[in-house]
Amino acid sequence: MKKILDKLCLFFGLIFAVAGLVVGLITNQWSWLPLGFLIVGTILITVWFGLMIRSNRSFWHQRGMQVGTNALIATTAIFLIIGLINFIAIRNSFRFDLTENKIFTLSPQTQAIVQNLSQPLKVWIFDRNVDPEIESLLQNYRRYSQNFQFEVVDPEINIQLAKGKFNVQSPGEVYLEYGNKKQRIQTLDPRSGNVLTEVQLTNAIEKIKRDRALTIYFFQGHGEAPLKDIEGGLSQAVQSLENRGYQVQPLTLATSGKIPENTNVIAIAGANRKLFPAEVKIIQEYLNNGGNLLLMLPPETDPGLTPILDDWGIQLDSRLVIDASGAGNILGLGPAAPIINNYGEHPITKDFGQDIAIFPESRPLKIVPKEGITATPLVITNEQSWAESDLSNQQLQFDSATDIKGPLDLAFALSRKENAQSKESRLVIFGSSTFATNGWLQQQLNSDLLLNSINWLAGEDEQTLSISAKEPTNRRINLAPLQARIISLMALFIMPMIALGMAIFTWWRRR
């Protein structure tokens, strides 16, 4: 009877334990059912083990049993250690990205945005399957926050979700869901090159997270850079801002007579004619009431903003900044396009490190300290730069009598608060407008400087001010037909024949 009881305990104990493990691992839900099976199985196996010890006390003292028990304990310990190592490795994975542009690593801005998700955000992909690269990108996002989720849904099977909730019109559509807000990103079509990129997804997340509409007005009417897709225009900047959820509008203050109430930031980019005194007064009143102003003022221009600049302690210098370090030669740029890799300590530039920005046609700026105003330099040239006063000479040389020796400040971020009850006003000034125009904006960190500055002026969360995502660099090699034939011959005939010849020669010598 005891032997039958022993066997029954072992038999049912193993069945319950295995059943609990299988149910829990397959469903990935450790509810009361799999846990109950495991507990019952463990109890039965323990009872069997106790009965075995009581009935065979001498059996456990035999030398062979002791050796086997030690081996079992050692094996179990090894499995536990290996399991613990794998558990730690899964929870704390390490990845190394050796690509040039770190295309497998999310940008600092993306990481900050995902880590700061305050509630679950889900990416819905309505398609039969998803490209492995897109799935890898989404998994990379999920590594930074448990609030980031994604799911692939076949719209032909789950019709109620696709049509009823998201109104999907065609396969491949991608949507974001954040709280009670839904937003369509794009339609995937790898054949035509429409794929989901980090730039698109991060911009969409930043846009759907924003709980208020942000509007920036660019002044027009005084020779400012137009918002059009032309050389010297700001269409790329406008597109980048709109992708992040901003509403970008032109503003001719001379005809409107006031700054709209929904304004978050006003910008004056490259004005080469003076503003009317009445316009300057309206801008002053706007700043005094907690407004935010972005100025981009190239050299040899006077926009007539002296009263505002004096209020903030800003001094303009009309001389042109020259970079004699030769760093621009590598990029095919002249000395009038300083290469910048030195930045001030400010939320706008906090993650820039030693990365470079390019500031063509720049003027130096100076700040006179004023009570109640905090000023931080953003862009600083190297020691081999200077501000040139005489551009008629073909050979540019530093003249200590008329020129200003570097390092020079090319941009400042300033803030002012009259008292504890008043609203803080902010101002960012650049001694260049060319860096933000079409073509130049996409160079290195130029876009990050402009967009971070506008975000800071608008009072956006400073934790998201960082280096934004970049599109992967196109490394495709375009070969002429003759070059392609030469490479094919080298790979299929010439190199194999050389290897065969060397083998025959080696055989002949050893013969």
Whether residues 120 and 257 fall in one domain: no
Query: Which pLDDT band holds residue 287 (cuts at 50, 70, 90)?
Result: very high
pLDDT at 31 over 80: no
**Collapsed DSSP state (helix, strand, coil) of residue 292:** strand
Which of 248-260 are b and which e, b meaning 16 or more Cβ less than 10 Å from the residue's Cβ? beebebeeeeebe
Last residue of a domain, one of 186, 204, 222: 204
Last residue of a domain, one of 180, 204, 228: 204
Whether residues 241 and 323 fall in one domain: yes
Contact 411, 429 (CB under 8 A): yes
Task: Provide the percentage of residues in the chain whose pLDDT is more than 70.
Answer: 81
Which of 409, 368, 401, 357 shows the shortest CA–CA distance to 385? Answer: 409
Averaged pLDDT score across all residues of the chain: 82
Whether residues 329 and 220 fall in one domain: yes
> How far apart are the C-alpha atoms of 311 and 83, rounded to whole Å?
66
Whether residues 199 and 229 fall in one domain: no
Distance, CA of 445 to chain centre? 12
> How far apart are the C-alpha atoms of 273 and 478, rounded to whole Å?
47
Which of 251, 299, 291 shows the shortest CA–CA distance to 275? Answer: 251
Q: How many domains does the chain have?
A: 4
Contact 404, 364 (CB under 8 A): yes
Q: Looking at residues 463-476, what average pLDDT do you find?
A: 56
pLDDT at 87 over 80: no
Work out the number of other CB atoms within 10 angstroms of the CB of residue 490. Answer: 12
Query: Which pLDDT band holds residue 420 (cuts at 50, 70, 90)?
Result: low
Residue 394: exposed, middle, or buried by beta-carbon count in 10 A (0-12, 13-18, 19+)? exposed
449 domain-assigned: yes
Q: Are strands 409-416 and 265-269 parallel, antiparallel or unpaired?
A: unpaired
pLDDT at 126 over 80: yes
pLDDT at 204 over 80: yes
Whether residues 200 and 224 fall in one domain: no
The answer for residues whose C-beta is within 8 angstroms of residue 308's C-beta and 6 or more apart is 280, 283, 284, 287, 293
454 domain-assigned: yes
CA atoms within 13 A on the CB side of 98: 0
Token couple for 70 = 């030690």
Work out the number of other CB atoms within 10 angstroms of the CB of residue 222. Answer: 20
pLDDT at 280: 94
Whether residues 285 and 166 fall in one domain: no
Which of 291, 239, 306, 297 shows the shortest CA–CA distance to 269? Answer: 297
348 domain-assigned: yes
pLDDT at 238: 94
Whether residues 154 and 268 fall in one domain: no
- 98-to-18, 104, 190, 430 alpha-carbon distances in Å: 44, 9, 26, 35
Q: Looking at residues 209-220, what average pLDDT do you find?
A: 86
Q: 127: domain range?
A: 108-204
State the angle between helix axes of 235-243 and 446-457 in degrees (0 to 180), rounded to the nearest 10. 60
pLDDT at 111 over 70: yes
Query: Which pLDDT band holds residue 128 (cuts at 50, 70, 90)?
Result: confident
- 471-to-74, 85, 172, 269, 454 alpha-carbon distances in Å: 52, 36, 21, 26, 21
Last residue of a domain, one of 154, 184, 204: 204
> How far apart are the C-alpha atoms of 193 and 383, rounded to whole Å?
45
Whether residues 174 and 306 fall in one domain: no
The answer for residues whose C-beta is within 8 angstroms of residue 388's C-beta and 6 or more apart is 319, 320, 321, 322, 396, 398, 403
H/E stretch holding 342: strand 342-343
Region at 132 (left for phi over 0; alpha for psi -120 to 50; beta for the rest): alpha
pLDDT at 412: 95
- State pLDDT tens for residues 363-410: 999 999 998 899 999 999 999 898 988 877 767 788 888 888 989 999
191 domain-assigned: yes
- 60-to-5, 48, 64, 66, 74 alpha-carbon distances in Å: 20, 15, 9, 7, 17
Please give the model's pTM, rounded to 2 decimal places: 0.66
Look up the CATH number of the domain holding residue 394: 3.40.50.880
Which of 438, 462, 464, 442 shows the shortest CA–CA distance to 207? Answer: 464
Whether residues 68 and 130 fall in one domain: no
Q: Looking at residues 462-470, what average pLDDT do you find?
A: 56
Which of 140, 146, 144 shows the shortest CA–CA distance to 120? Answer: 146
DSSP symbols for 294-307 = EEE--TT---S-HH
pLDDT at 486: 80
- State pLDDT tens for residues 319-369: 999 988 887 777 778 888 999 999 999 989 887 888 899 999 999 999 999
Work out the number of other CB atoms within 10 angstroms of the CB of residue 87. Answer: 10
Whether residues 413 and 511 fall in one domain: no
- State pLDDT tens for residues 424-442: 899 999 999 999 999 999 8
Look up the CATH number of the domain holding residue 184: 3.40.30.10
103 domain-assigned: no
Q: Looking at residues 33-44, what average pLDDT do you find?
A: 80
Whether residues 229 and 342 fall in one domain: yes
129 domain-assigned: yes
Q: Looking at residues 468-495, what average pLDDT do you find?
A: 71
Pairwise pLDDT comparison (238 vs 353), residue with the higher score? 238
pLDDT at 215 over 70: yes
> How far apart are the C-alpha atoms of 240 and 246, rounded to whole Å?
9
Which of 110, 116, 121, 190 shows the shortest CA–CA distance to 151? Answer: 121
97 domain-assigned: no
Whether residues 46 and 129 fall in one domain: no
pLDDT at 250: 94
**Collapsed DSSP state (helix, strand, coil) of residue 261:** coil
431 domain-assigned: yes
pLDDT at 353: 84
The answer for residues whose C-beta is within 8 angstroms of residue 404's C-beta and 6 or more apart is 317, 319, 364, 386, 387
> How far apart are the C-alpha atoms of 112 and 418, rounded to whole Å?
32
User: What backbone torsions phi and psi does residue 43 show, to the nearest 5 degrees?
Assistant: -65, -45
pLDDT at 189: 75
Q: Looking at residues 125-136, what average pLDDT do you find?
A: 86
